[in-house]
A and B are shown apart, each in its own frame.
Chain A
Amino acid sequence: MNELALKEFLYKVADDQLILGHRNSEWTGFGPLLEEDIAFSSMAQDKVGQSQALYEILHALGEQNPDTVAFMRNANQFHNCILAELPNGEYDFSLIRHFLYDTALAIRFEMLSTSAFKPLAELATKIRGELKYHTLHANTWVKQLGSATPESIQRLQKSLEYALPFALGIFEKSPYEDEIIKSGIFAGEEVLKSQWLRKVEEIIAQTKLQLPDTSSMNPVEGGRVGKHSEHLQPLLDEMSEVFKIDPTAEW
């Protein structure tokens, strides 16, 4: 197994979860209703916890400890997709992002539950169950608000059109894509993308939303190789502010 390829893969999945987990936590205290405040905060806790477990696997492979990896890297060392780092915007955008992202994530972990890399397969078997609650939450609200009032439909439609090119960036291929597939770590971004698209179509078809044609869209890529939007570094600065005051503090 190519260790460099494996590490790169683990970093991208862990970074996605940490960064979107942090964005979700920004809804704490600001949710449009109490239930949504709790939901986004809980998903934040799940995602940050899952990223930590993935960083632990990396630590066992010789990388720095999870806190150092999470708090001490600069934006260009992160491998998350750009979709995850975009500011929360209004609730309609956060909901659409949550739907597009978690649909892909749930399928990714389902696929990873049979990974040839055993520590990852075991963890994925656990995480895929937790993610069912995330997709249940996203699907419920997209179906409700995607068929509710002219305003809710129009808002979700606009956010869907804006978010889709970024969502396609989730599937940006790694420089080691072939090795990852050949060694059985993961079946690959192409397989994930086609399953994702089918699931997204299935849910959107149950609403009054129109899914734009993704085949003619240019994906917003770069995140997987450390080329990020201007939004990531301020997020990292805020996330690591307390840690950096005293990195040796015991919590």
Chain B
Amino acid sequence: MEITTNDIYQWLEEVKDPEIPVLSLVDLGVITDVKLNGKNVFVEMTPTFVGCPALDMMKGDIVEVLEKRGLKVDIEVSFRKPWTSDSISEKGKAALKTFGLAPPPSAQNLFTDIDILEHVPCPRCNGTDTELKNPFGPTLCRSIHYCNTCKEAFEQFKPL
């Protein structure tokens, strides 16, 4: 049977973000184009953050998963369609929350309304009695918050 780009996207579901293993690259929204020509596949991707150190690992994982299916893979990193946190799928956002990481709110009004960083809903209790502790966290894409109800810290996938 002939391979379609849909198959490629399905196979790419196997490739997870190395720093957030519940999220596939497809759900993360970093795959911006797939083109198929016989056994040659071209994948265009874009990093979440320009300095993301996981990029090379992601590229390696993509090649591995597709070569396993007998394809020849060419990957291009491009900023043609820059990634924003709104590129994360609804399925991806739900997976983040289950993982204990607050999903990003819409990035559209981020910089007119800084409050959306201040009172991020806690992924455990859903309460908004929370505080921003640090716009920078353990990875470039996470910020650190504190929930006054749970009396515990949590992280958020940053809106961008």
Chain A residues with a Cβ under 8 A of chain B: 35, 38-39, 41-43, 45-50, 52-53, 119, 122-123, 125-127, 129-130, 132-133, 136-137
Q: A122-B79, A125-B82, A129-B160 are in contact. Are A45 and B51 (CB under 8 A)?
A: yes
Give Cα A136–Cα B117 distance, bound, in whole angstroms.
11
Find out whether the CB atom of B136 lies under 8 angstroms from the CB atom of A129.
Answer: no
Find out whether the CB atom of A130 lies under 8 angstroms from the CB atom of B50.
Answer: yes
Q: Contact check: which of A42, A46, A126, A137 meets B83 at CB < 8 Å?
A: A126
Find out whether the CB atom of A38 lies under 8 angstroms from the CB atom of B83.
Answer: no
Instruction: Specify which chain A residues have a CB less than 8 angstroms from the CB of B160 in the assembled complex.
Output: 129-130
Find out whether the CB atom of A132 lies under 8 angstroms from the CB atom of B110.
Answer: yes
Instruction: Specify which chain A residues have a CB less than 8 angstroms from the CB of B51 in the assembled complex.
Output: 45-50, 52
Q: Count chain A CB atoms within 10 A of each CB in B51, B78, B114, B137 and give the residue with the most.
A: B51
Q: A129-B160, A136-B114 are in contact. Are A123 and B136 (CB under 8 A)?
A: no
- At the interface, is chain A mostly helix, strand, loop or mixed? helix
* Smallest beta-carbon distance B44→chain A, Å: 13
Is B93 an interface residue, CB under 8 A from the partner? Answer: no
Find out whether the CB atom of B50 lies under 8 angstroms from the CB atom of A39.
Answer: no
* Smallest beta-carbon distance A122→chain B, Å: 4
Q: A47-B51, A122-B79 are in contact. Are A42 and B140 (CB under 8 A)?
A: yes
Chain B residues with a Cβ under 8 A of chain A: 46, 49-53, 78-80, 82-84, 107, 110-111, 114, 117, 133-138, 140, 144, 158, 160
Q: Contact check: which of A35, A45, A52 meets B134 at CB < 8 Å?
A: A35
Instruction: Specify which chain A residues have a CB less than 8 angstroms from the CB of B144 in the assembled complex.
Output: 35, 38
Give Cα A213–Cα B142 distance, bound, in whole angstroms.
39
* Smallest beta-carbon distance B67→chain A, Å: 20
Instruction: Specify which chain A residues have a CB less than 8 angstroms from the CB of B53 in the assembled complex.
Output: 45, 49
- 12 additional A-B pairs beyond A47-B51, A133-B158, beta carbons within 8 Å, are A38-B136, A42-B136, A42-B137, A42-B140, A43-B136, A46-B140, A49-B49, A122-B80, A125-B79, A126-B82, A129-B160, A136-B114
Find out whether the CB atom of A49 lies under 8 angstroms from the CB atom of B79.
Answer: no
Smallest Cβ-Cβ distance to B136: which chain A residue: A42
Instruction: Specify which chain A residues have a CB less than 8 angstroms from the CB of B46 in the assembled complex.
Output: 126
* Smallest beta-carbon distance A46→chain B, Å: 5
Instruction: Specify which chain B residues have a CB less than 8 angstroms from the CB of A123 in the assembled complex.
Output: 50, 79
Find out whether the CB atom of B140 lies under 8 angstroms from the CB atom of A39.
Answer: no
Selected A-B contacts with CB under 8 Å, 23 pairs: A35-B136, A35-B144, A38-B137, A39-B136, A42-B140, A43-B136, A45-B51, A45-B140, A47-B51, A49-B49, A49-B51, A52-B50, A52-B51, A53-B50, A122-B79, A122-B82, A126-B50, A126-B82, A129-B107, A133-B135, A133-B136, A136-B114, A136-B135
Instruction: Specify which chain B residues have a CB less than 8 angstroms from the CB of A46 in the assembled complex.
Output: 49-51, 140
Instruction: Specify which chain B residues have a CB less than 8 angstroms from the CB of A132 in the assembled complex.
Output: 110-111
Question: Which 8 A-B residue pairs are closest in the complex by CB-CB distance?
Answer: A49-B51, A42-B136, A126-B82, A122-B79, A39-B136, A35-B134, A49-B50, A46-B51
* Smallest beta-carbon distance B135→chain A, Å: 5
Instruction: Specify which chain A residues have a CB less than 8 angstroms from the CB of B135 in the assembled complex.
Output: 39, 133, 136-137
Find out whether the CB atom of B82 lies under 8 angstroms from the CB atom of A50.
Answer: no
